[in-house]
Amino acid sequence: MSKKTLDLSNYLNSDIPENLYHYTTIQGFQGIIESSEIWMSNLFYLNDKSEYKLGVELLKKHLNIYKNGFSVLKATKYFVEALESAIQYIESNESIFILSLTANSNLLSQWRGYTNNGIGINIGFKKDFFKKNQFNIYKCIYDVDAQDKMISHLVTESIFMFVGVCHTQGIFENQDKFELKEFDKAVTIVGNIFMDRAILACSLIKNSHFVEEDEWRVVYSNKELDINFLNRSLYLKPYVKFPIENIGSIISEINIGPNPEQILCEISIKAFLKKHIINNCKIICCDIPYRN
């Protein structure tokens, strides 16, 4: 990756850590083990109110830049205007679900934010967990400059892809001779690719104030999912369930939060794991002196 651009494809192919951690309540941990399934939450119901919006605004910004720059090229301007229309679909996409993890196994802000004020568990998942279950997992992007470069590159790459498709169809040269509808096939082909990539990029862009979380995300987008709802008092939170085979084989460790009854909690966790024939994971007690 150069200093001037940030290629989404290269970024998505980055190596993931050997272990990633999911913070949850004791009840949540119990549910994961007993049901052998994980729950993914709808993106719009996470703790960052600017989720997804930051990326969408960057898309609008860079499409507007290119629309003005290509104003003399009929076909390219037509394509960029089509992408601007696609933003409405991208912006309103409610079928994005997230499993949040972190590379940090013992972070106080995570204990406070995702457990019962420190009384909870984080589950260390091995790298193989994501491969075996065909989950695509990516690191969130917090750096403002990196976010801008990635979206700029995504838009630029899409435009050049569109030009390439038009060239193969023999309609880019002397384009003034062709009606705009002649470019619709190329617009559809590249536009669909653009939307998939834009949705993923926007799902990974987070406000820089959350950088301490060091979040990695499994991102899943599919309108055919069977959606469940969890009562959160103020609203119903949408989520989807995914079954996990041989869950014990992909857990590397269990970390117990700053629980005032850590010893009892550890004893009960060991017995619980033994019952479910999970014998090869470490159990670690948090050493943060947090009075919850």
Instruction: Say which range, 42-51, 102-111, 253-262, 276-285, has the weakest mean pLDDT.
Output: 42-51
Share the mean pLDDT of the chain: 89
Alpha carbon distance 176, 178 (integer Å): 5
Predicted confidence at residue 1, as pLDDT, reads: 37
Average the pLDDT over 210-236 and give the result. 88
Rg (CA), the chain: 23
Average the pLDDT over 219-228 and give the result. 82
Residue listed under structure tokens 């117990």: 256
Q: Provide, for the chain, the percentages of residues in helix, strand and coil under a 3-state DSSP scheme, each rounded to the nearest 5.
A: 50, 20, 30
Helix (H), strand (E) at residue 126: strand 121-126
Tell whether the model's pLDDT for residue 21 goes beyond 60: yes
Predicted confidence at residue 7, as pLDDT, reads: 72
Query: How far, in Å, are 13, 52, 192 from residue 198 at the CA level?
Result: 16, 10, 10
Average the pLDDT over 119-127 and give the result. 95
What contacts 24+ positions apart, CB below 8 Å, involve 141-149? 141/11, 141/204, 141/205, 141/206, 142/206, 142/207, 142/208, 142/210, 142/211, 143/208, 144/208, 146/6, 147/54, 147/55, 147/58, 147/205, 148/58, 149/4, 149/5, 149/6
Residue 202 near residue 56 (C-beta atoms within 8 A): yes
Average the pLDDT over 28-54 and give the result. 88
Predicted confidence at residue 6, as pLDDT, reads: 62
Alpha carbon distance 183, 201 (integer Å): 26
Instruction: Say which range, 2-16, 180-194, 275-289, has the weakest mean pLDDT.
Output: 2-16
Tell whether the model's pLDDT for residue 148 goes beyond 70: yes
Predicted confidence at residue 2, as pLDDT, reads: 39
pLDDT band at 3 (very low <50, low <70, confident <90, very high): very low
pLDDT band at 123 (very low <50, low <70, confident <90, very high): very high
Tell whether the model's pLDDT for residue 253 goes beyond 90: yes
| DSSP states of 188-232 | HHHHHHHHHHHHHHHHHB--GGGGGG-EEEEEEE-TTS--EEEE-
Predicted confidence at residue 71, as pLDDT, reads: 60
Average the pLDDT over 94-113 and give the result. 92
Largest CA-CA distance found in the chain, in angstroms, rounded: 79
Distance from chain centroid for Cα 286? 27
Average the pLDDT over 66-77 and give the result. 78
Cα 160-67-204 angle, rounded to 5 deg: 70
Average the pLDDT over 186-207 and give the result. 94
Predicted confidence at residue 222, as pLDDT, reads: 74
More confident residue, 151 or 225: 151
Tell whether the model's pLDDT for residue 55 goes beyond 60: yes
